């Protein structure tokens, strides 16, 4: 509990003492309980990016941990004040159904485990946040959506960039036609991947660079375009002699065609560093580089023959806290998250079409 | 005749007076006569870029002009000191065969006219420089090459970027592996085209943005890779309601696959401004923006975590003079130009495969 919340709750207490509790408004004024998150999977991303972000959340807090490693449960349980009774192994995970401290289960596991733990969490009556890519196949995405719907619970995919201020500003510039009519989108995401990790095992990852980092190019193209692609053409290049790429793809070039005729030229790579996009309009362009990194985003805007570097207000919550708070408020207010399971499914369907296009060496219709 | 040449010829005169003319070396020491160019077509590119560049040439000079417009012949004839007898119309063009002042015919006409004037010039016994794209079809390129070969004369295509210092430096950085092994090439060329010009009439141009400006992306990919592509995958987007694009394509995205597995992601556009490339290696990258403009080239190199902007020596002849002098020396020394007709043919064959790929919506093999 933050000092701020304590102070607000104390003030409410004073209000109640003054007899205001009899008024219906008083119920509204009462500060909402922070939504409790169970973190499933205590790997790098969970422990270094997501869990520290709760310190900046207004509406979300960590209330439970799930891990197959007792040492991690002990370490992070102590660090985040999660009591013994709220620490779970994968064997005891389903008992989370009986834990009122947990509202949301956040699945941060290797991709192949997303469907199982997302569905088990829905069946336990919990809302689910699941990391991207949502699942190895669209069929599994559909099962995850169906399980959440059957349980009457929400499902959100961890598309943090949608809560990142520079990305929000870039989307706004495209949507308000500040750079004129959108003519072209170019985006590239990649990094030289280290060997010996689950991302390079197709059974665990569902695919290579496209699933892991290329999905940022795909998402960016879609959120900048503000439309759904109708056709994809993809070209793969993978050195199968490289032991890293025994089961997954390295490089993918893919072009998305949108209904307006707009093309997005996208790159995904496990062999070179890229983190950028540029949306080019009839009157200028907006560029982010880095675009979707954990931090350090920078924007350039070209308009009227001048290139400027606008100052984006980053004094609010960062993308990680923004994402956690957004879903907390959706749960509390019974609203649909801006990136629900259906959004994760859309990306996976397009990635399946990209894989088909690069396999069959032809354009694949998404209509 | 430049002062420099006058001075050198004066010195030779002194040598001859001293009896050196009897020695065989004296013939070698005698300054070569500048190679005489006939400029065919007095449009924007010829009059604003090529013709002024002769002032910076050591080995080339304008000796004849060919135009269908008598006013242009009078104006530029006077400006460049080309006598009446060396001014031709298209009707009198073939008489150039009898003019010893003309060594090279430089064809700077709408693309559809390249084959006819290139072949007529070869038949007139002249060496031919021809603007890019070489011709509307590979069949016509082959006829142009055959005509030059039959006449025992040279044929060069006006790929000026190969003589531009920043481009030469970028090629060198790729070839010497200064940025490690080449992992990726990205290039984009485009501009919003003005309506009502021959470039927008397929009968005159042979095609749209791909022939006119996309060819720079294609050339750059090939000269940076230092290899020939084995497969191309292309996607077109053209708004056929736009009167500019009634007969030619606007936007083309194309990916070239090279034998090493290297992919080049290329863009061609008649609707937005692009003039750039980046070659990405295992240890860094080299970028030019603008890359292939008439002037103003700028280079950035990324290596060892640092981005630098190397100073390229541009004190020598610019790309226009460099190209003109190169062919002049090839003619004089009976050497093959670095960008002969065969090089123009290669681009046109690849462009034909790009057109086929975008029409059939599938990858096209070039092997």
Note the pLDDT of residue A29. Answer: 54
Residues A168 and A82 in one domain: no
Tens-place pLDDT, residues B87-133: 999 999 999 999 999 999 999 999 999 999 999 999 999 999 999 99
Residue A332 domain flag: no
Residue B2 confidence class, pLDDT cut points 50, 70, 90: very low
Residues A97/A67, Cβ–Cβ less than 8 Å? no
Q: What is the mean pLDDT of residues B34-52?
A: 98
Beta bridge partners of A252: A236, A268
Q: Among the three residues A160, A181, A205, which one is the final residue of a domain in this structure?
A: A160
The CATH number that applies at residue A306 is 3.30.360.10
Q: What is the mean pLDDT of each run of 10 residues along chain A (367 residues)?
A: 37 36 46 92 98 98 98 98 98 98 98 98 98 98 98 98 98 97 97 97 98 98 98 98 97 98 98 96 96 97 95 95 98 98 98 98 95
Residues B53/B321, Cβ–Cβ less than 8 Å? yes
- Which residue out of B261, B279, B289 would a mutagenesis test of the A interface target, given it has the greatest number of A Cβ atoms within 10 Å? B261
% of chain B exceeding 70 in pLDDT:
92
Residues A185 and A295 in one domain: yes
**Residues of B with CB below 8 A from A262's CB?**
237
Residues A88 and A137 in one domain: yes
Tens-place pLDDT, residues B154-163: 999 999 999 9
Residue A323 domain flag: no
State how far the Cα of B204 lies from the Cα of B197, in Å rounded to an integer: 10
Phi and psi, residue A106, nearest 5°: -105, 110
Residues A235 and A169 in one domain: yes
The CATH number that applies at residue A59 is 3.40.50.720
CB within 8 A of A264, min separation 6: which ones? A184, A185, A186, A187, A221, A224, A225, A229, A255, A256, A258
Number of inter-chain CB pairs under 8 A, A vs B: 75
Q: Among the three residues A160, A179, A198, which one is the final residue of a domain in this structure?
A: A160
CA nearest A240 in B: which residue? B261
| Residue B13 reports pLDDT greater than 50 | no
Residues of A with CB under 8 A from a CB of B: 183-184, 186, 188, 192, 233, 235, 237-239, 251, 253, 255, 257, 261-263, 265, 267, 269, 271-272, 274, 280, 282, 361-363
| Residue B73 reports pLDDT greater than 60 | yes
Q: What is the domain range of residue A84?
A: 32-160
Phi and psi, residue B247, nearest 5°: -125, -10
| Residue B25 reports pLDDT greater than 60 | no
Note the pLDDT of residue A367. Answer: 80
- Which residue out of A217, A221, A230, A280 would a mutagenesis test of the B interface target, given it has the greatest number of B Cβ atoms within 10 Å? A280
State how far the Cα of A15 lies from the Cα of A19, in Å rounded to an integer: 7
Residues A131 and A212 in one domain: no
Residues B119/B144, Cβ–Cβ less than 8 Å? yes
Subunit contact B235:A363, Cβ cutoff 8 A: yes
Residue A350 domain flag: yes
Q: Which of B167, B141, B176 is nearest to B155 (CA)?
A: B141
Biggest CA pair distance of chain B:
76
Q: What is the mean pLDDT of residues B219-238?
A: 98
State how far the Cα of A256 lies from the Cα of A57, in Å rounded to an integer: 36
State how far the Cα of B274 lies from the Cα of B267, in Å rounded to an integer: 9
Q: Which of A216, A343, A345, A318 is nearest to A274 (CA)?
A: A216
B25 or A336, which is more confident? A336
Residue B285 domain flag: yes
CB nearest A362 (choices: B183, B253, B363): B363
Beta bridge partners of A281: A182, A284
Residues A205 and A303 in one domain: yes
Residue B29 confidence class, pLDDT cut points 50, 70, 90: low
Subunit contact B363:A363, Cβ cutoff 8 A: no
State how far the Cα of A288 lies from the Cα of A103, in Å rounded to an integer: 35
Query: Which of A80, A88, A106, A216 is the catalytic position?
Result: A216
**Residues of A with CB below 8 A from B254's CB?**
none
Residues of B with CB under 8 A from a CB of A: 183-184, 186, 188, 192, 233, 235, 237-239, 251, 253, 255, 257, 261-263, 265, 267, 269, 271-272, 274, 280, 282, 361-363
Subunit contact B280:A261, Cβ cutoff 8 A: no
Residues B35/B331, Cβ–Cβ less than 8 Å? yes
Residue A325 domain flag: no
Subunit contact A253:B265, Cβ cutoff 8 A: yes
Residue B273 domain flag: yes
Residue A322 domain flag: no
How confident is the prediction for chain B on average, in pLDDT?
93
Q: What is the mean pLDDT of residues B72-91?
A: 98
Residues A199 and A108 in one domain: no
SS3 A326: helix
Note the pLDDT of residue B5. Answer: 38
Note the pLDDT of residue A30. Answer: 63
Note the pLDDT of residue A212. Answer: 98
The count of structural domains within chain B is 2
Residues A46 and A148 in one domain: yes
CA nearest A282 in B: which residue? B272
Residues A78 and A91 in one domain: yes
Residues A154 and A258 in one domain: no
CA nearest A266 in B: which residue? B265
Residues A169 and A156 in one domain: no
Tens-place pLDDT, residues B271-314: 999 999 999 999 999 999 999 999 999 999 999 989 999 999 99
Residues A208 and A305 in one domain: yes
Q: For strand A284-288 and strand A299-303, is the pairing parallel, antiparallel, or unpaired?
A: antiparallel
State how far the Cα of A239 lies from the Cα of B262, in Å rounded to an integer: 10
Q: How long, in residues, is chain A?
A: 367
| Range name among A81-85, B12-16, B51-55, B98-102 with the lowest pLDDT average | B12-16
CB nearest A239 (choices: B186, B261, B282): B261
Q: Which of B126, B31, B32 is nearest to B88 (CA)?
A: B126
Residue B18 domain flag: yes
State how far the Cα of B15 lies from the Cα of B9, in Å rounded to an integer: 10
Q: Among the three residues A160, A184, A219, which one is the final residue of a domain in this structure?
A: A160
């Amino acid at each position: 509990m933050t000092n701020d919340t304590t102070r607000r709750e104390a003030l409410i207490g004073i209000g109640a003492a003054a007899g205001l509790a009899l008024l219906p408004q008083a119920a509204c004024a009462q500060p909402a309980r922070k939504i409790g998150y169970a973190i499933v999977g205590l790997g790098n991303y969970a422990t270094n990016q997501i869990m520290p972000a709760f310190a900046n959340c207004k509406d979300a807090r960590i209330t439970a941990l799930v891990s197959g490693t007792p040492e991690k449960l002990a370490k992070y349980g102590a660090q985040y004040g999660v009591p013994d009774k709220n620490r779970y192994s994968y064997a005891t995970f389903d008992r989370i159904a009986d834990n009122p401290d947990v509202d949301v289960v956040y699945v941060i596991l290797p991709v192949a485990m997303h469907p199982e733990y997302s569905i088990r969490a829905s069946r336990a009556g919990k809302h689910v946040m699941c990391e991207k890519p949502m699942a190895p196949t669209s069929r599994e995405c559909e099962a995850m959506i169906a399980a959440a719907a059957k349980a009457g619970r929400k499902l959100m995919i961890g598309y943090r960039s949608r809560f990142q201020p520079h990305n929000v500003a870039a989307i706004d510039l495209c949507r308000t036609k500040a750079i004129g009519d959108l003519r072209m989108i170019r985006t590239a995401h990649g990094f030289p991947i280290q060997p010996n990790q689950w991302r390079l095992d197709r059974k665990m990852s569902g695919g290579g660079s496209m699933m892991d980092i290329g999905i940022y190019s795909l998402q960016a193209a879609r959120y900048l375009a503000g439309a759904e692609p109708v056709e994809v053409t993809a070209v793969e290049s993978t050195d199968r002699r490289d032991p890293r790429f025994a089961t997954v793809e390295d490089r993918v070039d893919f072009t998305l065609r949108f209904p307006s005729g707009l093309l997005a030229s996208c790159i995904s790579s496990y062999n070179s560093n890229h983190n950028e996009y540029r949306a080019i309009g009839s009157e200028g362009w907006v560029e982010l580089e880095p675009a979707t990194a954990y931090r350090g985003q920078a924007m350039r805007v070209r308009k009227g023959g001048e290139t400027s570097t606008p100052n984006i207000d980053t004094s609010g919550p960062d993308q990680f806290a923004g994402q956690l708070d957004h879903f907390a408020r959706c749960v509390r207010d019974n609203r649909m998250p801006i990136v629900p399971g259906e959004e994760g499914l859309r990306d996976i369907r397009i990635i399946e079409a990209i894989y088909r296009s690069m396999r069959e060496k032809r354009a694949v219709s998404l209509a």
